[in-house]
Structure 1
Amino acid sequence: MSGHHDVHSGLHSEHGALTGEHPGRARNPVIKVLDLAWLEFEKPDLDAAETFAHAFGFSTAARTPDELQLRGSDPGAPCVLIRRGDRSRFVGPAFKAAESADLLRLAEASGARPAPLPESLGGLTVDLVDPSRLRVRVVADTHELAGMPMQQPHVLNFGHEVLRTNATQRPPRVPARVQRLGHVVIQSTKYRETLDWYLNNLGLIVSDFLFYPGQRELGPVMSFIRCDRGSTPADHHTLALTLGPSNRYVHSAYQVSDLDALAAGGEYLLDQGYHRSWGIGRHIQGSQIFDYWRDPDGFMVEHFSDGDMFDCTLEPGWAPMTASGLAQWGPPATKDFLGIKPGAESAREVRSIVKALREDNEFDIRRLRGLLKVANS
């Protein structure tokens, strides 16, 4: 069909920017962060949070009556910090600075002051607020947890290449062992302003842009953003931003060793009565094998494996956003994953749409039409 774009035709969007479109990076950012350090949440029930975390594949790094620190098997800081609160909420991400001098540079540019982190974490933080009113920490010199034994990938026979002989393959139904925090996805009513804030202040660079079908001239509505480590490859996205009617957490993702760990770990989660949101499949942007779950507080979390790694030389790809374009293979994206499943979450989003259309932000009636077209695609 003439003019038809096949969303499954490439792992990295094969079409680049048109003249005048967003370059996907800042010319002179304040600093360049190395990675996500951790994510912070508040939840009323730390016991339920810890039980799910162990089933999902985290280990407990530290536990007090009012705080839970969860880690993967890789060395470094904990992946997730959960503090006791009256209600469940996402507090914000923490990014790892390349060196402590970057905190001083960031503090001078922002007017914020470096402050010591709790002794359990060590080091310093500069706390900022992005245009979506999300608290963003940039940290340095934190304590480094030693690595733990990792879940070994399985030895596979590929076609006629036989690497396993006289040995069976029996992955046990046990929790997939989380290796590390991979990325977080945030929705914003001020997508473009928020995107530029992260590029200008933290030196992140865009791997892929998505736009609503038929609305490319209005600009992108989602970006998959990676750390700029120069010639050292980084995850296809450490942060993903998407335009929407409310400012909220969408999901976070945690790497496991391989497909067998992900799939057998998923069977274990099902056996424990937890809810799969969507999976198993393989994404297009980023190429990850994925499996999405809901924790007891309704937060969406993802197991992933085999993601793309890009260095600083790759320019952003551009592609239309469609529900069918979220995966190369796997089941169709569920209503739960898309946020349109009848229930409390979708009801909140409907109220957010009504509110957003009354306010001065980037989510207007044209963008609503584009979003509805994506949801029905």
Structure 2
Amino acid sequence: MAVGHDPHTGLHSEHGALAGEHPGRAAHPVIKADDLAWLEFEKPDLARAEVFARAFGFAVTLSTGRELHLRGTDPGAPCVLIRRGARSRFRGPVFRAAERSDLLRLAEFAGRPITPLPDALGGVGVDLADPNGLRVRVVSDTHELPALAPQEPHTFNFGHDARRRNATQRPPRAPARVQRLGHVVLQTTKYRQTLDWYLEHLGLIVSDFLYHPGRRDRGPVMSFIRCDRGREPADHHTLALTLGPANRYVHSAYQVADLDALAAGGEYLRDHGYHHSWGIGRHIQGSQLFDYWRDPDGFMVEHFSDGDLFDATLEPGWAPMTASGLAQWGPPATADFLGVKPGKEALRELRAVFSALREDNEFDAQRLLGLLKVARS
């Protein structure tokens, strides 16, 4: 690398598509989902899951020994539902329809029944399956939990704009208070098929595409996807999809008030012996301040703050996928975050590579080489 060269030059993806590339949206989607409602998991030890959830910053709305509901301070449905199961696994995402009529239209299109949800949640839902077989639930008319007292941002002295006088800044080393669920990231062996499925069924639109360096001609291998709310801005991504050797959950992200909440909350997690994966830093795609942790079952979860909001007028950006391009500033991406840290997870991914290369999917030898190049970049 040349002396003085900025490795982030050209990584910011305000540049749009070339002729013939994926438009990043469906011409005639069935519905336009309003938001990500919650995520569902199964875990064998709900008591342990609850202890971590409180340390991470969730409030608990239901804890029966068989089921655990976690929420943030914002009004709405719980962020996370965990049911007791024989093994730890991600069951799938749940999206919220803007109106009951959307749910009816989606159910008719998919040939699936609309069923009532449990009394603790209220409302109704329809269950679909994406091209990887993952259950995707869409719901409507769920109970609206009232807002909880938020974690108030501090008063900052930025430059010469000194608003705090005769007062100190003492953020407590305590759990960050989760405000809401932000996004979920999924890996798929059928990236293009899966991308098109979510765009067509749920009306999601792409904010940014990433491609393997030097292989843009083969198309994107990752997309950051937001809800289409027209002129109302939505999170830069509610769902992110990436091509890989296995169909799996990658991580989910939860908003907190500010950098102090994120950092002090992280120190609290560290003090209580939880596993830090990567951070603190600021992403490029989405611009979020981020900090990544592992829960006791190995699931990666993210605290984030200060993310981008886009309305439906912005077209997708395109950029090369590189490890250094994951952040504008912060420590280098760790082996744990990249999934290459020696251990059970890396071994599972390695086995998945050999399996995927023998099957009919989008993860071929050239894509493997591209992924290895990303990890080294």
Offset of residue 214 of structure 1: 1.1
Secondary structure of the residue aligned to 2:153 is coil
Offset of residue 8 of structure 1: 3.1
CA distances 1:271-299 after superposition (whole Å, capped 9, x unpaired) = 00001100000000000000000000000
1:113 pairs with 2:113: yes
Aligned equivalents of 1:376 and 1:355: distance in 2?
23
Secondary structure of the residue aligned to 2:157 is coil
Q: Which residue of 2 aligns with 1:67?
A: 67
Q: Which residue of 2 aligns with 1:278?
A: 278
Residues 247-258 of structure 1 correspond to what in structure 2 (within 5 A)?
247-258=247-258
Aligned equivalents of 2:178 and 2:16: distance in 1?
34
Identity of aligned residues (%): 77
CA distances 1:158-201 after superposition (whole Å, capped 9, x unpaired) = 10111000000000000000000000000000000000000000
Q: Which residue of 1 aligns with 2:150?
A: 150
- Normalised to the residue count of structure 1, the TM-score between the two structures is 0.98
Q: Which residue of 2 aligns with 1:126?
A: 126
Question: Given residue 321 of structure 1, which amino acid in structure 2 is its aligned partner?
Answer: M
Question: Given residue 226 of structure 2, which amino acid in structure 1 is its aligned partner?
Answer: R
1:194 pairs with 2:194: yes
Aligned equivalents of 1:264 and 1:174: distance in 2?
6
Aligned equivalents of 2:7 and 2:157: distance in 1?
30
Q: Which residue of 1 aligns with 2:76?
A: 76
Aligned equivalents of 2:133 and 2:210: distance in 1?
23
Give the count of matched residue pairs.
375
Q: Which residue of 2 aligns with 1:179?
A: 179
Aligned equivalents of 1:159 and 1:82: distance in 2?
45
Aligned equivalents of 1:315 and 1:175: distance in 2?
37
Aligned equivalents of 1:317 and 1:183: distance in 2?
19
Question: Given residue 316 of structure 1, which amino acid in structure 2 is its aligned partner?
Answer: P
Q: Which residue of 1 aligns with 2:89?
A: 89
Q: Please say if residues 11 and 325 of structure 2, whose CA atoms lie closer than 8 Å, have aligned partners that are also in contact.
A: no
Offset of residue 77 of structure 1: 0.1
Q: Which residue of 2 aligns with 1:54?
A: 54
Residues 1-377 of structure 1 correspond to what in structure 2 (within 5 A)?
8-9=8-9, 13-377=13-377
CA distances 1:124-156 after superposition (whole Å, capped 9, x unpaired) = 011000001110000000001000000000110
Tell me, which stretches of 5 or more residues in structure 2 are unaligned?
none
Aligned equivalents of 1:6 and 1:92: distance in 2?
39
Q: Please say if residues 12 and 319 of structure 2, whose CA atoms lie closer than 8 Å, have aligned partners that are also in contact.
A: no
Aligned equivalents of 2:9 and 2:77: distance in 1?
38
Question: Given residue 72 of structure 2, which amino acid in structure 1 is its aligned partner?
Answer: G
RMSD of aligned alpha carbons: 1.3
Q: Please say if residues 8 and 284 of structure 1, whose CA atoms lie closer than 8 Å, have aligned partners that are also in contact.
A: no
Secondary structure of the residue aligned to 1:208 is strand
Tell me, which stretches of 5 or more residues in structure 1 are unaligned?
none
Aligned equivalents of 2:359 and 2:168: distance in 1?
61
